[in-house]
Structure 1
Amino acid sequence: MKTGTYTQHIINVLCSLTKQIKSKIMYILITTHDYPEFYQLNGSPIHVDLEYTQEKITTYIENLEVITQVIKSKSGVTTDGIWMIKNQSDALQKLGSLNVFPFQTKTQAKLFAKHHNIKNYRYLKV
């Protein structure tokens, strides 16, 4: 395979994987605090001690170009909704052990909030 063709193939594979990952995005309902509380299955908020970071590096493909971005924040969730957690897998496992689970869609999360009469909340993409 020629170098240019191989590079295009790799980019196509990465784009496909990015689409698959985006289709797996789910949402957790959180409070509006800088370091949010999380809503349990019964609708009550719970404080969870998690390990946050003030800097994250993300890399993605845009217009067939690899983009690396440094994100800095002094809060647990940026204004763009980025969760400033050190290890998302560990955090989700801990949340699950406390009856906090993600919803497959924002609509499901909104219905949950309505059912539990939760007025002030944000969606956290996970």
Structure 2
Amino acid sequence: MNEAATEWKTAAEELAKLHGTVRDGLVKKSEAARWEGANATVTRDFVRSAAKEVDDLQREAKSIHAVLADAHEELTRIQKQAKALADEARQGDPTHNRSRIRGCSCPTAAVARSEWNRPSAMRRAPTSAPRT
């Protein structure tokens, strides 16, 4: 994802350069030209429209880069958190704080937390129905 974000950043930068060239070159020359008639109007409108399209593309590329960069940052943070939790689980410590898992409100986790917080004499024995 980081590679995609970098590529979109590069695309946005290149489009910004192109927009500057279009604005400072084509649009200025088109406006300064001494054209007359219907062709002059159509050509000027076309050049302005093309310049606006390049500007829109540059803004869109910049926006896509921002979204991808934010997503990459968030996924990297979540991956680090998942690795830390996996390391804690491998250590076999059943009393580690599961509340750090954002949004973990599943009943199984809540029961597990409450069971491990009870003294061992008060823990419920596992129940399993006999298989038939």
Q: TM-score, normalised by structure 2?
A: 0.28
Max Rg structure: 2
Q: Work out which structure has the larger RCO, using CA pairs closer than 8 Å and 6 or more positions apart in sequence.
A: 1
Which structure has more helix as a fraction of its residues? 2
Q: TM-score, normalised by structure 1?
A: 0.29
